[in-house]
Structure 1
Amino acid sequence: MSTTAQPQQDMKDILRPYLQANPSLRVNVTVLNWESAWARINAAAESGQGPDLLELGSTWVTAISAKGALEPVPSTVQGLVGGAKQFFPALWGSTHRLNDSQIYAIPWYAGARVAFYRSDLFQHAGIRPNEAFANWGSFKQAMQKLKGIKLDGKLVGAFGYPGKNDWDILHNLAPWIWNAGGDFLNADQTKAIINSPEAMQAIRYFKSFADEGIVPASALERDSAQIEAGFFKGEYAVIFSGPWVLKMLSTDKAKGGQRESVTARNFGVASYPAGIKGNQTFFSGSNLAVMKSSKNKEQAWKLLQFLVSREAQIKYSTLSGMLPARLDALDDPILQQMPHYADFIAQVKLGRHYPVLPAWGKLETVFRTHIAQAVSMKTNDGSDSNKLGALSLKRVLDQAANEADRILKENP
């Protein structure tokens, strides 16, 4: 899937040493965008006709393996790549289904989200970052203090996040829900609890920044990439995003980066502000798997081993900005050169993944659709409408839970 600026060319660069060592091998690469990839891969799984080796988002492995479309990873291959101990635990947990120890994929790269903030604006407003990101209360106070701040005579949005049309809206909300003590499913993953008081509290808190004008109304019409671009241009003091932002801020403008920008000289990273259940972040990534329909399984397993090797993962990380999935690659000097890389890695330890069950792909669509509807509702316009807004929000979340429960019953 498209994760780098030139995915076709970048894959050629990654594969070059492997193909030089295997001159008789030909590798055809097909690049998909994330928005259409699920439908394409799902169709391939249904038809039994697909590529030898494919990338799967970490939330997709269980659904595709449940269709019988993936070849189990041989124990010999698992041993050759280092096994579970060599990868982030949260990402290794996505390589198999709940209550099933059979491994169907190997982690390729990882990603997590943290807060990026303008250190110069925080200093100008007299805000200490360690205090601002301590908890929900201190974060709200800091954002209120930043509201109306100007940079070079231009108004800066205190906080920037995208609105209902953003593909990543569920990922944006998940840490807030978890940190409030809420979740998407109950402990045994048999019932949806997205309509719990804790989840509702988190969504209302998240929405309050837009309702109070701390998040500019214009931001809600943007997607994640546009919010990140706005941060680079000095339009927002705080955003929450992934390691690719570090990559952009350490890459020369001539190569499409932002290293010469004012933001690159004045930024820091921090964890999500803590709720009553801590300050976890959303942790995800991608895995590589071999399809059962492959006519070239031996070559596919060898290619997979190369792609998840330490050297190949470091190369991919330098091109994409994503984190290596391998723990032994995290401290590579090339990656350590990025400003605040070590700070980012410290936050990754707080990462949490979605549930690993076959129905998650359908559930994610339901949750994303209804959360997009929820965040677009107005609920803070005074006491009467606030009560009405809370009831409307509850109805939306109840509907999401009901639809999710039906999916869980159909896909036990």
Structure 2
Amino acid sequence: MIKVKYEIYPWKGYYDKIKAAVAAGKGPDVAELGLPNNFAIEGVLLPLDDFIKKEGDAFVKDFYEGPWKAGINPIDGKQYNIPWFTAVRIPFWNKDLMDKYGIKEVPKTWDEFLKVCELIKEKSGGQEYCFAFGGQWSSYQLPWVWQAGGDLVSPDQRKATIDTPEWKKAIGLLKSFIDKGYAPKACPTWKGLQVEGLFKSGKVLMVYDGPWFIGDLQENTKINFIVSEPLEGPAGKYVFAGADSLVIFKNTKHPEEAWLFIKYMVSPEVQEKWCKVSRFFPSRYSVKNPFGDDPYMKIFAESAKYGKMYPPVASFAGVWGKVKPELEAYYLGKKSLDEALKKAQEEAQKAVDKWWTEKAKK
């Protein structure tokens, strides 16, 4: 029998506390970390590849691809994080507007959604919107890029991949929502609060959001709403995901026991119980439906498998910070799409090169 002593810390200052403990040689055996994180790059985590190899391919393939890849150290290619749970953003639909305009089913693809957008524009006379997004947040825009087949960096994470046909298709589509009156002109300057506020006003058909929005709508509005899986683009379905992982610190005196603990915590049986208590979503395909008949959480859990995350280097190098101002300039008509993506590509590549150069010196 393995006895586990656990400590709970508030999220604020959590990473600093962990780093200080590790530096003093008093770090934990196992800890929860967000994904992606740079603890492996700093050399304080134990690579888990030998443990994983013993579990076999079925163990690896049962985890959602997005969180699993986010746990790989881009420098040595080893796995240091085991995804524990996930969180995703999916479409919220105003059922009252659907009924008002005779929309019988939720659109499933980009093309179907565009037809609905044109319908609402024509029938509402521009008084209501089909869609809204926050131009200041990557979580509202990257899913469209992924659905078009693009990403922030190349698979080896050494090249920025912003100035591509896929980005042009996705970002051009978002701009067209604004230009055609399907979305508010202010979207480029918005964050989550403004997007949620518009939905709560009853003036927009669909927005992407997380499970926290369910309670807000139920407590503070009378809107009838439903949720759905993400729209499908040319390259498939993707949603913006966050995830937390479990790791083992290199200075542990109990690596085998630590692995057994992680294996237990991420097991389908325990994940199902944890999801019910925490209201987060699983990280494994074999955890089918931890929320029973809950009409909202059930679909969130089913959509978690479409979750995609920042590639680690894109996160560490701050690539989005280089891209965002260029996209905003395009949305606001200050630059053409080609100009914006070309500049974003240049600045993002500088950030990626700088990150790799600095890591090579260590």
Same fold (TM over 0.5): yes
Distance 1:228 1:101, change over 3 A: same
Structure 1's 378 and 94: CA in aligned 2 closer, same or farther, altered over 3 A?
closer
* Structure 1 position 183 matched with structure 2 position 151: yes
Quote the offset at 1:369 in angstroms.
Answer: 0.8
Shift in Å at residue 239 of structure 1?
0.8
| Aligned-partner SS, 2:39 | helix
Structure 1 residues 174, 156: closer, same or farther in 2, change over 3 A? same
- C-alpha distance 266-353 of structure 1, shift in aligned 2 (>3 A): closer
1:119 paired residue among 95, 98, 107: 95
What whole-Å deviation, never above 9, does each CA across 1:207-236 have from its counterpart, x for those lacking one? Answer: 333455533356555533663465355353
Q: Which of the residues 242, 260, 271 maps onto 2:230?
A: 271
1:240 aligns with 2:186: no
Deviations 1:247-282 (A, max 9, x none): x53x6xxxx77279534x43231422423x333334
TM-score, with structure 2 as normaliser: 0.77
- SS of equivalent to 2:286: helix
Structure 1: which amino acid aligns with 2:323?
I
Q: State how far apart, in whole Å, the 2-side matches of 1:225 and 1:380 are.
A: 20
- The 5 A counterparts of 1:206-221 are 206-216=174-184
Q: Which residue of 2 aligns with 1:58?
A: 35
User: Could you tell me which of 347, 362, 365 is aligned with 2:316?
Assistant: 362
Change (3 A) 1:212 1:380: farther
2:168 matched to which residue of 1? 200
Give the C-alpha shift of residue 30 in structure 1. Answer: 1.4
Give the equivalent residue in structure 2 for 1:331: 289
Superposition pairs of residues 1-400 of structure 1, within 5 angstroms: 26-33=5-12, 50-60=27-37, 63-73=38-48, 75=51, 79=55, 83-97=59-73, 102-130=78-106, 132-135=107-110, 137-147=111-121, 156-164=128-136, 169-216=137-184, 222-224=190-192, 227-228=195-196, 231-232=199-200, 234-242=202-210, 244-245=211-212, 249=214, 258=218, 262-263=222-223, 265-275=224-234, 277-294=235-252, 301=259, 303-332=261-290, 335-355=291-311, 359-363=313-317, 365=318, 367-379=319-331, 387=336, 390-400=338-348
The percentage of counterpart residues that share the same residue type is 24
Question: How far apart are residue 115 of structure 1 and its match?
Answer: 1.9
- Whether the 8 Å contact between 1:45 and 1:67 is mirrored in structure 2 is no
TM-score calculated relative to the size of structure 1: 0.69
Which residue identity lines up with residue 369 of structure 1 in the other structure? G
Q: Distance in 2 between matches of 1:129 and 1:191?
A: 41
Aligned length: 356
**Greater shift in the superposed pair: 112-121 or 227-236:** 227-236
- SS, match of residue 33 in structure 2: strand
CA distance 1:128–1:217, shift in 2 (3 Å): same
Could you tell me how far apart the structure 2 residues matched to 1:344 and 1:201 are?
27
Structure 2 spans left out of the alignment, 5+ residues: none
Unmatched runs of 5 consecutive residues or more in structure 1: 1-17
Q: Secondary structure at the match of 1:96?
A: coil
Q: Please give the alpha-carbon distance, in whole angstroms, between the structure 2 residues aligned to 1:42 and 1:192.
A: 30
| 105-114 or 139-148, larger mean C-alpha shift | 139-148
Q: Distance in 2 between matches of 1:320 and 1:99?
A: 33
Distance 1:194 1:140 in 2: 24
Shift of residue 112, structure 1, vs aligned partner:
3.3
Q: Check 1:195–1:227 CA distance in 2 against 1; reply closer, same or farther (3 A cut).
A: same
From the superposition, tell whether residues 336 and 224 of structure 1 become closer, same or farther in structure 2 (CA, over 3 Å): farther
